[in-house]
A = this chain, B = another copy of it.
């Protein structure tokens, strides 16, 4: 008996649920959970099922391909630990939260290594027997620095996600395209408010009563990729922008870990610069 996550992304048409459930039924699969969504505006159909039964993944995929429109995307995924690399700069909270979750065994992931443009986080990461690579950007232009990182990343051919746990440098289009829909960022703002530098200072100056954090996939336009998760906290006039920053850290780490969990459980579809999350 094997367990699979089946992810289907298709142009909507009548009979899709019927066709998929017929394949499941004919192969004697048990449906553990099932979620569907139709975006009528874009005529798109999304489905995520958890099934178990006595069948090979490739076989199940083949049967689904036979009945579904040829333009469909069909994934049959066997649940197992995914491989992630974390990139960070100097702040400890988001990285530390992931490390503790990893250590406790709750994270469905292997952390291959942590990369930083500084050395500060090395002593924390190495406590957990995880490789730490400090790749300084000092005296390098953006491309030279990224070349070094990309070279390092290219050593891992089984990489599933790159997690930017407060990595404070902008990635070039070249970098982003290489890992399209695989880079998860935490932005310390309730996007799309306060795009860009020091959002807490911007929020303070604007006198907002709520601040937030946003986790999103990274695309070419900084801070504009598909949003995965958002959360907020209330603040008031007595908060300096540094108080907002301190309080914001608690939201940032929660939102990033929530987004990472969704990705590791194959719950996210990306399309039209948005996400469907089951």
Residues in A lying within 8 Å of B, measured CB to CB: 14-15, 17-18, 21-22, 24-25, 28, 30-41, 91-93, 96-97, 99-101, 103-104, 106, 124, 127-128, 190-194, 206-210, 212, 226-232, 234, 236-238, 240, 246, 250, 254, 257, 272-277
Contacts and interface: CB of A to CB of B under 8 A. Distances in A.
Contacts of A275: 207, 237
A229 B103 CA distance: 27
A236 B209 CA distance: 18
Given A190-B190, A192-B194, A274-B237, A207 B226 contact: yes
B190 A236 contact: no
B103 A100 contact: no
Contact of A92 (B40, B104, B227, B254): B104
B237 A37 contact: yes
Contacts of A194: 192
Chain B CB count within 10 A is highest, among A41, A193, A209, A237, for A209
A interface majority secondary structure: mixed
Chain B CB count within 10 A is highest, among A206, A231, A272, for A206
Contacts of A103: 92, 96, 124
B232 A206 contact: no
A26 to B, nearest CB: 9
A207 B274 contact: yes
B192 A206 contact: yes
A232 B210 contact: yes
Contacts of A41: 240
10 contacts: A14-B31, A18-B18, A34-B36, A99-B100, A191-B208, A207-B226, A207-B227, A209-B228, A210-B230, A237-B275
A116 to B, nearest CB: 14
A25 B32 contact: no
A210 B190 contact: yes
A96 B40 CA distance: 33
Nearest to A203: B192
A62 B22 CA distance: 21
Contacts of A91: 104
Chain B CB count within 10 A is highest, among A15, A28, A103, A226, for A15
Contacts of A34: 17, 36
